[in-house]
Structure 1
């Protein structure tokens, strides 16, 4: 299937359209009707095809964009290309997958993190904070963690939803990974009460930072 055309793939995506999947996805702000398991199976069959991925992205169809993310080569994109893609991501799932599956694996990730973190566009800023949370957990050297907590304390409460979620994840990662900042991170979470009442399924960890921090730290101590 190495020579699959854009038209063939779009036809296959259309054939996977499921009204029930569209309804479920719609509840999360995603405007497509393809089951993600079936989308991943299609991507596995297509394997990596960078040019096809670029053409799928250009269709501006949400399912096609998600498929493009799954079959692309993350390291093949230039910095400005990724910046433009992020600004056209539109739906939450496309935004999330683009940041996690592509940008984080790209050589320009740190440059984009710095550029996006204070971008006036909340969607771009949230991507910057998601990349910062990743660095807090995996490569904290050079980060001003106290300074990040200052910004979170001042801005998270009134931030737009997607940006608030990313800042909250960064707050939690600081508390989980860095014991010297844990008490302050928990205190900020308690006072701001962001996501305190977020509905959490049984067996899942609450995104409310104090609960999230304590649960993850507790698990490590159990090992």
Structure 2
């Protein structure tokens, strides 16, 4: 399948209602409004195809960029490639659910995420914290440095309330993910969540929302889901 055929297939799957939802979350034209589940049959036909993924991502069409993440070959991508993808990721559904997810399937994931977290740029920071969430929810605990993650919890505790809005979401999610998916620091994550308390996130033209990591962790504890790991990062 080439670029033209994939774009035609994606366009045929687009729905106005889905398009409106994506736009309300920060997407802008061009986009078709394809539900992510609808992309799976096309992805099965293509499997991993990095050259095609690059062509799709470069279209600037939100649905094509999302689909690029599904068929990308993460191990064929370098840090330079991921930085380039981040440069084009103009809102959180691309930074956190396409770029960060794809990065989470590489050996350079932590190294690149660490740089993004310290970048001072809202979406890069958000993608860096999100990538750690994808990693922690998928990889064995032994792949992580306990002292490093403990320091990261401290960093979140000290800076979350002053961070950019989208970064707050990802940082709050990091506390939650450590609390649920990384058993060695469950107690520290719970303690951090209590210290942080409710996190106010301001949203364009909407009321602020309040994120409470401690409540989310407790819900998972109640369901007996401590230590949860997902089999795959990408859908």
TM-score category, normalised to shorter length:
0.7 to 0.9
Separation of aligned partners in 2, 1:115 and 1:183 = 26
What are the residue-to-residue correspondences of 1:46-57 with 2, within 5 Å?
A: 46-57=46-57
Separation of aligned partners in 1, 2:22 and 2:105 = 26
Q: Which residue of 2 aligns with 1:73?
A: 73
Q: Choose from 181, 195, 208 the match for 1:188.
A: 195
Separation of aligned partners in 1, 2:213 and 2:148 = 19
Q: Residue 23 of structure 1: CA displacement?
A: 1.1
- Which structure has more RCO (C-alpha within 8 Å, separation ≥ 6)? 2
Q: Choose from 161, 164, 181 the match for 1:160.
A: 164
Q: Residue 221 of structure 1: CA displacement?
A: 7.9
Report which of the two has the higher share of strand. Answer: 2
Gaps of 5+ in 2: 202-209, 227-235
Residue by residue over 1:69-120, the C-alpha shift from the partner in whole angstroms, topping out at 9 and shown as x without a partner, is: 1111111101111111112111322222324431001122122022111112
* Number of residue pairs aligned between Structure 1 and Structure 2: 209
Give yes or no for contact 1:136–1:173 (8 Å, CA) kept in 2.
yes
Separation of aligned partners in 1, 2:35 and 2:134 = 28
Separation of aligned partners in 1, 2:164 and 2:47 = 36
Q: Which residue of 2 aligns with 1:19?
A: 16
1:143/1:136 Cα in 2 relative to 1: closer, same or farther (>3 Å)? farther
Q: Which residue of 1 aligns with 2:39?
A: 39
Q: Which residue of 2 aligns with 1:82?
A: 82
SS at match of 1:220: coil
**TM-score, normalized by length of structure 2?**
0.78
Residue by residue over 1:124-179, the C-alpha shift from the partner in whole angstroms, topping out at 9 and shown as x without a partner, is: 11112123345556333253344323321221113222200111011223333324
Separation of aligned partners in 2, 1:195 and 1:29 = 19
Q: Which residue of 1 aligns with 2:233?
A: none
1:182/1:117 Cα in 2 relative to 1: closer, same or farther (>3 Å)? closer
SS at match of 2:162: coil
Q: Does 1:10 align with 2:10?
A: no
Separation of aligned partners in 1, 2:76 and 2:154 = 36
What are the residue-to-residue correspondences of 1:55-134 with 2, within 5 Å?
A: 55-134=55-134
Give yes or no for contact 1:74–1:101 (8 Å, CA) kept in 2.
no
Separation of aligned partners in 2, 1:104 and 1:40 = 20
**TM-score, normalized by length of structure 1?**
0.81
Separation of aligned partners in 1, 2:101 and 2:132 = 15
For the aligned residues, what is the CA RMSD? 2.6
Give yes or no for contact 1:30–1:92 (8 Å, CA) kept in 2.
no
Separation of aligned partners in 2, 1:122 and 1:55 = 26
Q: Residue 55 of structure 1: CA displacement?
A: 1.0
Gaps of 5+ in 1: 197-205
